[in-house]
Amino acid sequence: MPIVVTSILAAFESIGNVSNLSNLGIKSITYYLSTTFIAVILGLILVTLIEPGISKPSKFMQQKINSLQESNLQKLVLDITEIVESETSQSLNSGKIQDLQKTLTKIAQGNNSADDLKQKALKLIGSLELRSKLSNDSKPTDKSNLSIKDFLLLQIEKTLINPFEALASKNVLAIIIFTMLFGGALTTIGPSKEKIFEINRAINLSVMKIIHMIMYFCPLGVFGLIAEVTSSLGIEVFSRLGLYILCVLLGLAIHLFIILPFIVYTTSKVSPKQFFTAIKPSLMVAFSTSSSSATLPINLQCVEENLKVDKRISKFVLPLGSTINMDGTALYEAVAAVFIAQLFGVSLDFQSQIIVALTAALASMGAAGIPAAGTVTMSMVLAAVGLPIEGIGIILAVDRPLDMCRTAVNVASDATGCVVIDSIEKSKSLFS
Ligand code: ASP
């Protein structure tokens, strides 16, 4: 929680006074948000299509699973029959009824179910429907019945009534909303905000220090986690991790070699070859240091000298970008969160995927431009959808090479933003 709050406040510190954000500021932030969301959606599509965390059993194994499933399904239907018969309408609340109905529908439509089992399931669905009508507890706050709008409104309500309760109960979304409101307000209060931002930076650094101290034990923790996962999934966990790496790299490559050059070309007519030749030194430094902040000076030089971006623009757009614009990190966080969900057998519904997209974008904006910062802020994405934080330990084993690649994408996107805004400003001055 301290990392989430202080990182978001740090992002507001770099944005400056939100009430008189300059035209340039609004344009930069709009560009940054747009490409970050493109990256997140790309990541989500890839991880859903490739399903790196889901085991696909061999034919022989599938047959075994089918026969096992058949007897398990029989038992499940028996259990549900028992529950339906023994529980009163009051004790079967709407959530429970919905859960049972979902399971039964799967059985009734499943390929692995025998016909008599399907009949039984359909009958049970009917009697549960009746129960559901009788039960009078289908409250509007039932989370599974809420639309996304109602769900977000509920979070805002919770936040505004008691942010401390949200903090204590680790309600990440509510905390993010409150911190954004607070951060935005803070930027408008005049010089005294500097003190708060200074304290915020100190807290952020101290908490980071604590995390680094804990990180000394990390190899031991990673060893334990991988051993545990390997013992349940077998050696297959390595092929899962391999697919996960492939998924992240594919997403990063599409973003770097197709989406960004396309944006550059359509807005400023700079060809992909010109663009990559110009920013090659920054890409190399980003790749070898895994740090957007360390790459900032060379990136400034590349866009100013090789791409002829106006210095007044680059001096504003790039430093802001190196702290809040991290397309590669956002893509990686979205893929990693869904991968961990798949690995732990948690299915994420549409609402949860939207929360993953939003928090991954925010977590990337809050991540500092230093190595492995994205991995730390990822805890925010996992916590927001109730996934186990230990999942980070599993992906940590392969994090460094991915960090090198995502940092290169982060830096390329900053340079793209610079070129885009420069050409918009230049065309504006031509017409005025
Ligand atoms: N290393 C990345 C950067 O500096 C941040 C991260 O994703 O860890 O841009």
| DSSP conformation letters of 285-308 | HHHHH--HHHHHHHHHHIIIIIS-
Q: Which of 136, 137, 180 lies closest to 155 in space, CA to CA? A: 180
Q: What is the DSSP letter of 188?
A: T
pLDDT for 117: 76
**Is residue 125 helix, strand or coil?**
helix
Cβ of 299 below 6 Å from ligand 1 = no
Q: Which residues make Cβ contacts (< 8 Å) with residue 2, sequence separation at least 6?
A: 203, 204, 207
Q: How far is the CA of 326 from the centre of ligand 1 (A)?
A: 7
Q: With a 6 A CB cut-off, is 377 part of the ligand 1 pocket?
A: no
Mutate to test the pocket of ligand 1, among 292, 298, 318, 400 (most ligand atoms within 8 A of CB): 292
Nearest atom in ligand 1 to the alpha carbon of residue 376 is 8
pLDDT of 232: 66
Q: In the 8-state DSSP scheme, what is residue 256? A: I
End-to-end CA distance of the chain: 48
Per-10-residue mean pLDDT for the chain, 432 residues long? Answer: 80 76 80 94 95 67 55 74 65 69 74 71 76 52 57 70 78 78 88 90 87 80 76 75 95 97 93 95 94 91 93 86 91 95 84 90 86 87 84 85 96 95 81 56
Nearest atom of ligand 1 to the alpha carbon of 294: 4
Residues 352, 272: contact at Cβ < 8 Å? no
Q: How far is CA 103 from CA 93, 138, 347, 352, in A?
A: 16, 19, 14, 20
Q: Are 345 and 29 within 8 A, CB to CB? A: no
Q: 371: Cβ below 6 Å to ligand 1?
A: yes
Is the C-beta atom of 365 inside 6 A of ligand 1?
no
**Could you tell me the pTM of the whole model?**
0.70
Query: Which atom of ligand 1 has the smallest separation from the CA of 410?
Result: 9
